[in-house]
Amino acid sequence: MAVTRTKYNFYVKKKFHQSWLHNHINDPYVKLAQREGYRARAVYKLKEIDTQDHLIQPGQVIVDLGAAPGSWSQYARNKLVANPYHASSGINGTIIAMDILPIEPISNVQVIQGDFRNDIALAQLEKAINGRKIDLVISDIAPNLSGIAVADAARIEHVCDLALKFAQDYLVPNGALLVKCFHGSKYSQIVERFKHQFKTVVPRKPKASRDKSSEIFILGRVLKYPRA
């Protein structure tokens, strides 16, 4: 009996889901995140980059764009804990997590649910930073990808442009911006935009990124044209 296209598609999707689930459950970074109390394996991408580039320092104002579920903010919080032997001691710095999705509370992290392009969310951010500039912007945002190369490249470019504009508006002159990008037809143009805005621009591909993933992180440091 012939298999209809609908049934075939169902079988393919089911097989793919089962394969992904198996790989996810057995992923060493997933297991490590569970043991260490982090909400997502993505935390180890930030940890590796931070270890290499020393991004997170005491006293900083840090904004995590697209922070849900919150593992990057958790890591930043842990780096800024004033006294690691006393969890209630607070942190030496300020961490603000922003996302349109809800984020479960994280101790010592200010959570803003809203779009960072939206005036209401930005008003909450400006209240939280209280006249200060931001030292570090981190973003693990990934747009919804369609599988259509041209459309996906445009979406990735748009997200990176939004992060760049945010950084230009809010970073201190010697601040840094770390964003997730993907190799593709727009990658070189995105890097050129970073180079126009920052004095130092480097790509980072942490080991925690899955081998099959085309994701790569771009780190820009020290604004060329800081705003007053």
Given a cut of 50, whether residue 24 has pLDDT beyond it is yes
Given a cut of 60, whether residue 174 has pLDDT beyond it is yes
More confident residue, 9 or 164: 164
pLDDT tens across 106-134, in order? 999 999 999 999 999 999 999 999 999 99
User: What is the chain's mean pLDDT, rounded?
Assistant: 89
Catalytic residue among 45, 79, 180, 186: 180
- Residue 105, classed as helix, strand or coil, is coil
pLDDT at 25: 63
Over residues 86-107, the mean pLDDT reads: 91
Residue that is written with structure tokens 């993933």 in the block: 213
pLDDT at 23: 54
pLDDT at 34: 96
Which of 104, 57, 89 is CA-nearest to residue 76? Answer: 57
Neighbours of 164 (CB within 10 A): 21
More confident residue, 147 or 68: 68
Sign of CA dihedral 121, 93, 58, 102: negative
Whether 101 contacts 133, CB under 8 Å: no
Residue that is written with structure tokens 């104002």 in the block: 61
pLDDT tens across 32-55, in order? 999 999 999 999 999 999 999 999
* Rounded Cα–Cα distance for residues 211 and 190 (Å): 22
Strands 94-99, 134-139: pairing kind: unpaired
Over residues 153-177, the mean pLDDT reads: 95
Furthest-apart CA atoms within the chain: distance in Å: 72
Binding residues: 70, 72, 99, 115, 140
Given a cut of 90, whether residue 66 has pLDDT beyond it is yes
pLDDT at 16: 36
- The model's confidence at residue 14, banded by pLDDT at 50, 70 and 90, is very low
pLDDT at 88: 66
Given a cut of 90, whether residue 61 has pLDDT beyond it is yes
Given a cut of 50, whether residue 1 has pLDDT beyond it is no
199 flagged as catalytic: no
Binding residues for S-adenosyl-L-methionine: 70, 72, 99, 115, 140
In the chain, what percentage of residues exceed pLDDT 90? 75
Residue that is written with structure tokens 């270890």 in the block: 51
Given a cut of 80, whether residue 64 has pLDDT beyond it is yes
Over residues 189-202, the mean pLDDT reads: 97
Which of 64, 66, 139 is CA-nearest to residue 108? Answer: 64
pLDDT tens across 199-222, in order? 999 999 999 998 788 999 999 999
Given a cut of 70, whether residue 186 has pLDDT beyond it is yes
* Rounded Cα–Cα distance for residues 29 and 42 (Å): 8
The DSSP secondary-structure symbol of 89 reads G
Q: Which two three-digit tokens encode residue 64?
A: 């995590």
My answer on whether omega of the bond before 69 falls inside 30° of 0, hence cis, is yes
